[in-house]
Structure 1
Amino acid sequence: MRKILIHSGYIKLDQFLKLSDCVSTGGMAKALLQEGLVLVNGEKEERRGRKLYPGDRIEVQDEGTFEVIGGEVQK
């Protein structure tokens, strides 16, 4: 399982898919979600704007499993 660090309270699912290198564009993220290839905490998710928080687990078919982790915002 790969851990993906975010520096804010949450990240939207489409942004997460780009950050984790599962997709390179928002359009690709939309297609991946519409095909039902993404699970969030074990449940199929189709909403690009779904907010992910530290501790959430994301499974992407053919890409693997990821966990959102939080970190301090650097000033």
Structure 2
Amino acid sequence: MTRESEPKATRSGDSERFSITLIPAALQALAKLMGVTGLSRADAINRSVQVYGFLAEQMDSGKEVLLRDKDGTMERVHIV
């Protein structure tokens, strides 16, 4: 049984079209992401949502997000 609040795409596995308005900071981040990865706008947004979902689940289970520089220096990432 599915919850009414679940998006249709989650229940059926089908894709779904959205119309969203991005704030200027999100537009800049999207442009940088597309430049670095060569992804299309839709692919960059799709992957971003998937990565954010994964990170949110991991943090919800008590894990931390860490970045390690080439020299081994570690930095904790705070996502709010």
Q: Give the TM-score of the pair, scaled to structure 2.
A: 0.30
Q: Which has a greater percent of helix?
A: 2
Highest Rg: 1 or 2?
A: 2
Which structure's relative contact order is higher, taking Cα pairs within 8 Å and 6+ residues apart? Answer: 1
Q: Which has a greater percent of strand?
A: 1
Q: Give the TM-score of the pair, scaled to structure 1.
A: 0.31
